[in-house]
A and B are shown apart, each in its own frame.
Chain A
Amino acid sequence: MKPFMASLLFILILSVGSTAMSASIFPYKYRTEKLPNGLTVIMIPVESPGLVAYYSVVRTGSRDEVEPGKSGFAHFFEHMMFRGTKKYPAQVYDSLVTAIGAKANAYTTDDYTAYHLNFAKEDLEKVIDLESDRFQNLDYEKAPFQTEAGAVYGEYRKNITSPFALLNEKMQDLAYDVHTYKHTTIGFEADIKAMPEAYEYSKSFFQRFYRPDNVVIVVTGDVDPGATIELIKKYYSGWEKGYVPPQIVPEPPQKKERTAEISYPGRTLPIIDIGYKGEAFDPESTSYVAALVLGDLAFGETSDLYKKLYVKEQKVEFIAPSIPMNRDLPLFEVYSMVKTADDVAYVRDEVYKTLEEFKTKPVDAKRLNDLKKRQKYSFLMSLDTPDHLAGGVARFVAMTGGLEVIDRLYSKFETITPQDVMAAAQKYFTPDRRSVVVLKGAQQ
């Protein structure tokens, strides 16, 4: 996954999820079951013409890569999950998925890995059979393992020509000292190069993390929960629990501002990324939930600064916030692509000035209410296919293990006041929590 894309995804999920209703916000009835081995299954029947989405959410991502030299391994392992079992070797798995015309893929983020298939409802048992088999019985030889490392390197090479890939790599490395958010999801290049040597390690990765007590299955669409859970019990009950949580070292408080400048080998307009140490996802925390709305109010497309820098002065090609939801402490960021290098300092100072204003002046109540209305409609409009629904809740499921948190978060949104937003600005957006990276093109 491209780290920058992952950041944008968080914004999307935020809009998906927030709404201003007070009772239950999540619009669908759903059923959650937990098997004795710890596997959680969430079934959300919704009207859809014979289509089903099936997501296996492993609550392990690049955050869990604690061993030195193993950055990027969660993503690499995602690739290995397509390399087959004794019962269904890779080519057989592929041909069976092909035979049912499923749309199947997987992705890895900082906090989780998701395997997803969309298919016709009559193929549900076949999919459960295939998925349960590879999650329990994955079996690959060293040679295909090493070949797959080449594909991962190819993915890295494909991505790294983007200036945003370089920028994010640098920002994470700069802002974190010990926490695993120090590396991007695809990992450091040196670690990707060394992946072919990590065959034995990959086996232990599977043993520790691919366990039922670390996985949530989300099934949406044209499904009968009663029949579905019986099938899942039939195929998954033999899977033994045994998740071993990694010892993730918390990031100590940052003491002073950090800055860096990097050079992009091609041509690009300069990009500035201003990141502040934020807070882990906590729907009960007023300041955290207020920060989730602050980003859009201060830097979104109806903000004064966006109108000033992008529309009126035309100093920037874009400016956008990223206030993510993460299991551990993420960066709250503001990105801007600036039209000339001479204006980078000006744009940076305008961002600082805006944040100072948010610390001292309550935001306009109408704008806050407009945002709440927007979130409600974004949410309602986004859940329009089984795939969008399952994909839209995947991060919540990964962070908390269930869907209940969605209602809690959105109820909290409803209570946020202009004073709360002001307090969040004061709490998080301080110089000592800040890291700034400026990227410039080497060729002009």
Chain B
Amino acid sequence: MKTALMLTVCALLATGSSTLLGGPTVSDDSFVLLPVKNDPTVSFRMIFLAGSQNDPAGKEGLAAVTASMLTDAATQRNSYEQILDKLYPLAASYSAATTTEMSVIYGRTHRDNLKEYYPLLMDAVLRPAFKQDDLDRIKSQMLNYLENTLRYASDEELGKAVLYTRLFAGTGYGHITPGLAESVRSITLADVQDFYKKFYTVGDITVGVGGGYDQALIDNLKRDLGGLPASGSRAAAPKPKTIPLDGFDVTMVEKDAPATAISMGFPIDVLRGTKDWYALAIANSWLGEHRNSSSHLYQVIREERGLNYGDYSYIEYYPGGGGFTVPPQNVARRQQIFEMWIRPVPNETRHFALRAALREFQKLVNNGLSESEFQLTRGFLSKYVLHYAPTTMERLGYALDDRFYGIKGSHLETFREMMKTLTREDVNAAVKKHLRYGKMAIAIVTKDAKSFKEALVSDAPSPITYKTPKPESVLSEDKEIGTFPVKVKPEDVKIVKVEELFQK
């Protein structure tokens, strides 16, 4: 098995390009290499800083459409059907993923099949055909996602999308990656071609290669990717501003929901690689480690009260959280948020559940972690991080993100090292500095939003009753939760209909 392994990530510093044939080449420092000698596979991740923040106004979704037009469509040499046929016996594939700041073209092949795979991958990046029928197919899928799947099939994903876009309304972060329905409908082949020429340039690419490859592959990549469009001059997208938050900013999505999904959060100015981030990671893990019963929110809301399936918190953007147990790679952002995710609760307990989460969050902000909580969580994370990137492809993703964040060395190694040196005081100081109570956006997907709004703005008590017995300790705490003050002004609660979301 492949993993032996020096987790060496070396940016090539040698100047080998002079030995290559003429023409532009991709510079050595655009490569992030992760050689793993015993790995029988080769992994590729090519990152372009072409994310949804770069979508032109009125063309929201263009970055995602363009990326799919490279990997899920014809090239100048092969029709889409021919590509599928050629990849099939190789058991290899390549795909695109677009997030706010970047698009990544990634794929993996067994090294036995590298010779057949490589030209297909290069064709996809360098020689897309940009055919109308492929565009129609890809747009249709995105529209189906925006108009049907996201609005109706998963209320918790819907709630998160509403939170993310609300916090950054009016900025490049203010729409979700698949865009807006009307904008997607308006995207033309010319739009895609322009976007490709502008953002998929030789100067913009960062190339990650991992696994059992040899130097000849790297030389070929330098030469071949030199065939990307020449870099033009364009300003980097500005770091987004967030909406002003003076109190609770509530968006309720009215729909015939069988249960209420809640997501809430606010921007934070801390990024991985800094001491504060690792300190805050300890506090966050204690409060809400993703998909883990060690999460305190999970213990209070699910384990003790049985209100839902889980409750978590985050200090980094974590899209598609229902589908991952550990953080995804290559979703890096310059502006992060703190977020709490309350999975759907029975509609009659929505006010109570919201209060329960806010109350626990306020306690963390006010009191920080106790010594025992700190020690337990620090020990947990020092080993749990081992599970974040067990495969070469995942480690390569982290290495590329290290480049994005300007981290020298490895974030995951730093993470483990920091767990040895951080103190409880560091953690609680980071909490005080970066987390605050009372100023946050809240997204709620629910039925009869009007009555919830009335209850919220009047801060009406929300007593809870159970069909089954609960311990006295829970019942007495329930009284405090049910009257925990949450001051919301009527003008700060907006009710939107689900069918109006992500439209234009």
A→B interface (CB under 8 Å)? 15, 46-51, 82, 90, 94-95, 97-103, 105, 118-120, 142-143, 146-151, 153-155, 157-158, 160-163, 196, 264-269, 301-302, 307, 310-312, 314, 317, 337, 339, 369-371, 373-378, 380-381, 383-387, 441
**Do B259 and A154 touch (CB < 8 A)?**
yes
* Min distance, Cβ B476 to any Cβ of chain A, angstroms: 15
Query: Which of chain B's residues have a CB closer than 8 A to the CB of A317?
Result: 140-141, 144
Cβ 8 A contact of A380, one of B110, B302, B379: B110
Give complex CA distance A336, B265 in Å. 38
- Taken together as a complex, chains A and B put the C-alpha atoms of A373 and B390 apart, in Å, by 26
Nearest CB of A to B391, in Å: 5
Q: Knowing A268-B153, A380-B40, say if A98 contacts B309 (CB, 8 Å).
A: no
A103 contacts across to B, CB distance below 8 A: 325-326, 384, 387
Whether B468 pairs with A143 at a CB distance below 8 angstroms is yes
Is B256 close to A, CB under 8 A?
yes
B478 to chain A: closest CB distance in Å?
13
Chain A residue numbers with a CB within 8 Å of B256 are 265-266
Q: How far is the CA of A269 from the CA of B153 in the complex (A)?
A: 11
Across the interface, do B381 and A47 meet the contact criterion of CB distance under 8 Å?
Answer: no
Enumerate chain B residues within 8 angstroms of A160, measured Cβ to Cβ: 258
Chain B, range 221-275, C-beta contacts under 8 Å to A: 255-259
A-B pair count, CB < 8 Å, reads 202
- Chain A residue nearest to B256 (CB atoms) is A265
Contact of B325 among A105, A120, A150, A381 (CB under 8 A): A105
User: Within the assembled complex, what's the spacing in Å between the Cα atoms of A51 and B1?
Assistant: 12
Residues of the B chain whose Cβ atoms lie less than 8 Å from the Cβ of A82? 293
B113 to nearest A CB, angstroms? 7
Contacts A267-B151, A268-B153 given; does A374 touch B91 at CB 8 Å = yes
Are A381 and B152 closer than 8 Å at their CB atoms? no
- The reply to whether B148 and A151 contact each other, CB–CB distance below 8 Å, is no
Q: Are B309 and A155 in contact (CB under 8 A)?
A: yes
**A370 in complex: contacting residue of B88, B302, B326, B468, CB < 8 Å:** B88
Ranked 4 nearest A-B pairs via Cβ = A150-B306, A101-B383, A266-B152, A146-B468
Selected A-B contacts with CB under 8 Å, 10 pairs: A47-B38, A99-B380, A118-B387, A154-B344, A158-B309, A162-B153, A267-B148, A268-B148, A314-B140, A377-B91
Tell me the complex Cα distance, A385–B90, Å.
Answer: 21
Across the interface, A143 reaches (CB within 8 A) one of B257, B293, B470, namely B470
Chain A: CB-nearest residue to B291: A105
Residues of chain B from 306 to 333 with CB closer than 8 A to chain A in the complex: 306-309, 325-326
Q: Could you tell me the distance between the alpha carbons of A142 and B468 in the complex, rounded to whole angstroms?
A: 9
B1 touches A383 (CB 8 A): yes
Contacts of B305 in A (CB 8 A): 147, 150
In the complex, which of the residues B255, B294, B307, B383 has the most CB atoms of chain A within 10 Å of its own CB atom?
B383
Q: Say yes or no: B110 contacts A381, CB within 8 Å.
A: yes
Q: Are A154 and B306 in contact (CB under 8 A)?
A: yes
In the complex, per-residue mask of B1-41: 1 if CB is within 8 Å of any chain A CB, else 0:
11111000000000000000000000000000000001011
CA distance A381 to B41 in the complex (A): 7
**B390 & A51 in contact (Cβ 8 Å cutoff):** yes
Query: In the complex the two chains form, what is the Cα distance from A376 to B302 in whole Å?
Result: 43
Q: Kindly list chain A residues whose C-beta atoms are within 8 Å of the C-beta of B147.
A: 267
B457 beta carbon closer than 8 Å to chain A: no
Question: Which B residues touch A157, using CB under 8 A?
Answer: 258-259, 308, 344, 346
CB distance from A353 to the nearest CB of B (A): 19
The complex places the Cα of A383 from the Cα of B108 at a distance, in Å, of 14
B108, B136, B152: which contacts A268 (Cβ < 8 A)?
Answer: B152
Which of chain B's residues have a CB closer than 8 A to the CB of A384?
1-3, 41, 390-392
- Asked if B306 and A148 make an inter-chain contact with CB atoms under 8 angstroms apart, the answer reads yes
Assess A311 versus B91: contact at CB under 8 Å? Given A301-B84, A381-B108: no
> Does chain A have a CB within 8 A of B343?
yes
Which chain A residues border B306 with CB–CB below 8 Å? 146-151, 153-154
Check B380 against A98 for contact (C-beta < 8 Å): yes
Task: Report yes or no: B153 in contact with A302, Cβ–Cβ below 8 A.
Answer: no
B467 & A147 in contact (Cβ 8 Å cutoff): no
**Contact: A441 with B148, CB < 8 Å?**
yes
Whether A100 pairs with B383 at a CB distance below 8 angstroms is yes
Indicate if the CB atoms of A147 and B309 lie closer than 8 Å. Answer: no
Name the residue of chain A whose CB is nearest to the CB of B470.
A143
A371 to B471: give the CA distance in the assembly, Å. 58
Q: Mark B31-58, 1 if CB is under 8 A from A, else 0.
A: 0000000101100000000000000000
The complex places the Cα of A147 from the Cα of B299 at a distance, in Å, of 12
How far is the CB of A383 from the nearest CB of chain B, in Å?
7
* B379 contact set on A, CB distance < 8 A: 98-99, 101
Residues of A close to B41: CB separation below 8 A: 381, 384
Q: Is B81 an interface residue (CB 8 A)?
A: yes
Q: Which residues of B (72-131) have their CB < 8 Å from a CB of A? A: 80-81, 84-85, 88-92, 108, 110, 112-113
Would A196 and B468 count as touching, CB distance under 8 A?
Answer: yes
- With a cutoff of 8 Å between Cβ atoms, the chain B residues found around residue A375 in the complex are 91
Docked CA distance A265–B258 (Å): 10
- How far is B498's CA from A161's CA once the two chains are assembled, in angstroms? 14
On whether the beta carbons of A302 and B88 are closer than 8 Å, the reply is yes
Minimum CB–CB distance from A176 to chain B (whole Å) comes to 26
Give the distance to chain B from A191, nearest Cβ to Cβ, in Å.
16
B343 contacts across to A, CB distance below 8 A: 154, 158
B217 within 8 A of A: no
Q: Is the CB of B326 within 8 A of A301?
A: no
Q: Whose C-beta in chain A lies nearest to the C-beta of B88?
A: A302
